[in-house]
A and B are shown apart, each in its own frame.
Chain A
């Protein structure tokens, strides 16, 4: 079964492009939301394997806390995607890491594949160079 991915991104154009890339790769995009509250609701109502989370959302810089919560409390694998990766310099426990935007299809493909392999405890390939891993 295709992995189920949630996009949390407040720029509609960036979210749409990301959705197309993920769907081309065969993943199921369960939803694309622009704020933390809506993301929590999606996760409560449906199964999500991986969340791609931006930091600055339409309800403010709520992405950091949202990612931590989804990873630690909801069992969702979390990969941050942000134009401002410096805001995550300390890392966020329980989440995989951060991919800086702008990025490209290849980087999204390898980062998502890496994150999902980690989720399923498979032998993870070496992390892609663009992906900054958290300890």
Chain B
């Protein structure tokens, strides 16, 4: 059997994946329908649907892959995933949201946290930050240092920051929770041109699933550099 065939899910697996993805669509529609009778809840419903959509994208991106007899999802490419996740906020030329730096692989266990983290940053930028302005943009850069990966979200061209509005909401709590889940640290800087947030995570947090008996070499090998 070729490697390609090895990575193709069987019919039952594929069917299950399709059904799970459909469940996300049903949940999202249920939220919207439930909120219809409560116009005051529409902003809440929009935020919640955005989060459900981020989870759905995370689920959709994890590469179908049969890991031996386990049938687990295999590792995925981080830049590709971030591009897909941020697609609703991007423009055709790619100038509005750019992703550069060292790429890495991550697995299904890290996908939820990564999706929620960057969905919140993007949604916040779209509501209050650089992505709320026509000329605003976000540069997301990733940099590997030893066995750590730093992801920097830098907004440019946004409205002047409203210092009175810095009271952290649930979105920021969700960001903190996601960073914790990745065993990472978060540094936020409120610059004149917009928020700069740097998330620093250990490589091992991106690829937790390893074959039993995996060594630290596996962890180091899980980050790959694809150039800048």
Contacts and interface: CB of A to CB of B under 8 A. Distances in A.
A100 B59 CA distance: 13
Contacts of B27: 102
Interface residues of B, number: 28
A11 B30 CA distance: 11
A102 B88 contact: no
Nearest to A18: B29
Contacts of B74: none
Given A102-B53, A102-B56, A14 B25 contact: yes
Interface string A50-86: 0000001000000000000000000000000001101
Contacts of A127: 92
B22 A83 contact: yes
A109 interface: no
Nearest to A11: B26
Interface string B1-43: 0000000000000000110011011111110110010000000
B51 to A, nearest CB: 10
B218 interface: no
Contacts of A11: 22, 25-26, 29
Given A102-B49, A107-B88, A16 B29 contact: yes
A13 B28 CA distance: 10
B52 A102 contact: yes
A102 B24 contact: yes
A129 interface: yes
A18 B24 CA distance: 15
Nearest to A14: B29
A104 B47 CA distance: 10
A101 B28 CA distance: 9
Interface in A102-118: 102-105, 107
Interface residues of A, number: 23
A102 B33 contact: no
A17 B92 contact: no
B25 A102 contact: yes
B87 A20 contact: no
Contacts of B33: 13, 16-17, 20
Contacts of A107: 88
B121 interface: no
A127 B53 CA distance: 20
Nearest to B56: A102
A21 B45 CA distance: 14
A16 B36 CA distance: 12
Interface in B134-186: none
A129 B49 contact: no
B50 interface: yes
Interface in B82-124: 87-92
A130 B87 CA distance: 6
A90 interface: no
A126 interface: yes
Given A20-B36, A56-B22, A104 B53 contact: yes
Contact of B18 (A18, A20, A84, A104): A84
A86 B21 CA distance: 12
**8 shortest A-B CB distances, which residue pairs?**
A102-B28, A83-B21, A17-B29, A101-B25, A14-B29, A102-B25, A83-B25, A83-B22
Interface of A: 11, 13-14, 16-18, 20-21, 56, 83-84, 86, 100-105, 107, 126-127, 129-130
